[in-house]
Amino acid sequence: MGYTTVTDVANYMRTTFDTTTTPTDVEVQNYIDDISNEIDEMTGTTFTIVTGEVEVITPRVSTNKFITKKYPLLNVTKLEYNDGTEFEPNWIEIPDTDFRVDGDIIITKKNYDKQVRITYDYGHLSVSSSVKMLATLMTVKRILGSADISDNEFESVSIGPISVASNLGMQRIVTLDSEIERLKKIVGRYKSILK
């Protein structure tokens, strides 16, 4: 699932996409999916909900605080510690009453010096407006930079009955990069400072 839609991109560009346009609606959806993955990589998180992530943490010293690699942490469904060895583990479940979650940190009542296995859900409950707009603008930029457009095969790119160049206007194209950079700074704040 992408962070914007073909319709949102088309509305921004004041056009439509279908199987006869360049790019097609399927190509625009592929751009959206790629850009959504790029935003995930940029922020180190996802703006959807991922359930059932399993992570094994081997503490360097005895501790009662564990930070998951994926964030934001939404829910811990199971917490276990290894009572065996690394090669022959014996996982014992830690009761819900023996740990609590504080942000992205799991705090247990007692310290553990062996492996801890966490099963959890992470991500965001919804896509923020800044993430949605960033995905939309990055998709628009990808469309404008596509081979058909950048190779000057067309004097103006027409999608359906409307010309992209005349609809966006040169000033709007010039400011697209600066708006993308501004939104990247805003969206980048979703990055965890603990990682």
- Distance, in Å, from the CA atom of 192 to the CA atom of 71, rounded to the nearest integer, reads 7
Residue 1 within a domain: no
- Distance, in Å, from the CA atom of 119 to the CA atom of 55, rounded to the nearest integer, reads 7
* Residues pairing with 101 in the sheet: 106
Tens of pLDDT, residue by residue over 78-131, are 999 999 998 999 999 999 999 999 998 999 999 999 999 999 999 999 999 999
The token pair at 39 is: 């935003």
Domain boundary among 106, 123, 140: 123
The set of residues, in sequence order, having a beta carbon less than 8 Å from that of 158 and lying 6+ positions away, is 164
Q: Which domain holds residue 84?
A: 49-123
Q: How many domains does the chain have?
A: 2
pTM of the entire predicted model: 0.74
115 and 54 both lie in a single domain: yes
Residue 195 within a domain: no
- Distance, in Å, from the CA atom of 91 to the CA atom of 109, rounded to the nearest integer, reads 18
The token pair at 1 is: 């699932």
58 and 110 both lie in a single domain: yes
Tens of pLDDT, residue by residue over 125-165, are 999 999 999 999 999 999 987 755 544 444 455 555 555 55
Q: Which of 6, 102, 3 is nearest to 43 (CA)?
A: 3
- Distance, in Å, from the CA atom of 156 to the CA atom of 182, rounded to the nearest integer, reads 28
Count of other CB atoms within 10 angstroms of residue 19: 7
Confidence label for 172 from pLDDT (cuts 50, 70 and 90): low
Q: Which residue has the higher pLDDT, 111 or 1?
A: 111
Domain boundary among 123, 142, 160: 123
54 and 117 both lie in a single domain: yes
Residue 84 within a domain: yes
What pLDDT, on a 0 to 100 scale, did the predictor assign at position 177? 84
Q: Which residue has the higher pLDDT, 39 or 152?
A: 39
